A and B are shown apart, each in its own frame.
Chain A
């Protein structure tokens, strides 16, 4: 199946760019919420709390984008028609690499990767777009994401890295049904 996907630099209008930014932040927040919930359900409250925090930041950023969009009509874009480089919104945390016994440092690393990807996306747009206002906004967002990366890096230092055998569970899995 041959799919031609738009490149980040082909985003044509400010509205389209803001629609991307809004979706990026919302999906990041949704992703954190979902992982936070799964950690809470699996009795890892400390890590759940961290993900809920990330979620809160995501929502905050989404509302900032929303206020930039005041007065504009953002286009509806189908999930698969966004100009994401690998098809998925770049800041969405990689849910496939979470584990119910994961440690705070691992959670922070996960978020770090997501923020880094978001930064890379905005940086690519800034570098490749031909629309001055998009360039301006994308550069601004890229430096914000870079700031998040820096903060996370500082944060990670405060937690010990995961011990060897961090995922050892002496009990077998249960049979709920």
Chain B
């Protein structure tokens, strides 16, 4: 991607489309959209050199609300689509965005392997611990005793998934948690995540006012983590496992090797064909 010359700098609103979101009024995703566009304005990358890739779900609607290249793909596969794009087109800035169900449940295998592969892209998960688009079912990050869904009337009875610990163990190179109630702080982390090489995992606590109205309380309970960003995975792991999931900040910035195949032509097709001659 090429940086913009100073005089043509774009503002955050230059990255928004005129398409009006379907998100419920009060939804945290509005703020994430705003954080993303603010971060992109700070990164000063040409619009045409950015691609936003998503799967299916409320948050996965985000590409259409930007005026960038985007792909609203199928449920759970955003990371795979983005991996193909970034490996084939390393010149692009690739942002992947989606929700907790899309990313950790149906897309769980891709999540693990995207962390492992460590392709240079930034994954923003708008985590509201619920499936919104299908009317409020438990997701992998829903507390085990949440009994508000008709599908799991006694609660899931299953321990919630720990996305950041999994990301760390699987090999992600940048791990952070943000809060939709802090859009400028989130913009800052997204900017940092994009600048850091490799796979950057940004979990954003983004309240669902319709199915998890108690998450409106997050503005009182979420706080900045009392940590210094580390490059040591064992320290980060210990911290993550001890935390209650409501602390925000950049927990880990590693130096893990980035998957970036060289796309350089050293032979012609005719050269390859010589191999077949008896």
Contacts and interface: CB of A to CB of B under 8 A. Distances in A.
Q: Is there direct touching of A and B in the complex, by C-beta distance under 8 Å?
A: yes
Interface of A: 1-3, 30, 34-35, 37-42, 76, 78-80, 82, 84, 87-89, 95-100, 102, 172-177
Top 6 nearest A-B pairs (CB, nearest first) are A1-B249, A80-B188, A38-B25, A79-B184, A37-B20, A98-B25
Contacts of A97: 26, 216
Contacts of B225: 1
Q: Which of A1, A38, A40 has the most CB of B within 10 A?
A: A1
8 contacts: A38-B30, A76-B9, A80-B184, A95-B30, A95-B31, A96-B207, A99-B26, A177-B133
Contacts of A38: 20-21, 23-25, 30
Contact of B135 (A2, A88, A175): A175
Nearest to A34: B30
Given A88-B182, A177-B57, 11 more contacts: A1-B227, A1-B250, A38-B25, A38-B30, A78-B42, A79-B12, A79-B183, A80-B184, A100-B25, A174-B135, A176-B22
A76 to B, nearest CB: 7
Nearest to A48: B25
A173 B25 contact: no
A173 B136 contact: yes
Contact of B216 (A34, A96, A174): A96
Which of A30, A38, A42 has most chain B Cβ within 10 Å? A38
Contacts of A3: 224
B19 to A, nearest CB: 10
Contacts of B148: none
Contacts of A100: 24-26
Interface residues of B, number: 46
A102 B24 CA distance: 12
A174 B187 CA distance: 31
Interface of B: 9, 12-13, 20-26, 28, 30-31, 34, 38, 42, 56-57, 133-136, 180-185, 187-188, 191, 207, 209-211, 216, 219, 224-229, 248-250
A51 to B, nearest CB: 10
B224 A1 contact: yes
Contacts of B133: 175-177
A171 to B, nearest CB: 12
* Interface of A: prevailing SS: loop
A173 B135 contact: yes
A87 B25 contact: no
Given A79-B184, A95-B31, A172 B24 contact: no
A89 B136 CA distance: 32
A34 B274 CA distance: 62
Q: Counting chain A CB atoms within 10 Å of each CB, which of B57, B209, B211 scores highest?
A: B209
Contacts of A98: 25-26
Contacts of B9: 76
Nearest to A40: B20
A80 B187 contact: yes
A42 B25 contact: yes
Contacts of A95: 25-26, 30-31
A77 B39 CA distance: 12
Given A1-B225, A96-B216, A41 B184 contact: no
Contacts of B180: 96
A69 B183 CA distance: 27
B28 A173 contact: no
A35 B24 CA distance: 10
B181 A96 contact: yes
Interface centre among A88, A89, A96, A99 (most CB of B within 10 A): A96
A76 B43 CA distance: 13
A172 B135 contact: yes
A3 B246 CA distance: 18
Contacts of B184: 79-80, 82, 84, 87-89
Contacts of A76: 9
Interface centre among A76, A82, A95 (most CB of B within 10 A): A95
B218 to A, nearest CB: 9
Nearest to B211: A173
B183 to A, nearest CB: 7
B185 A175 contact: no
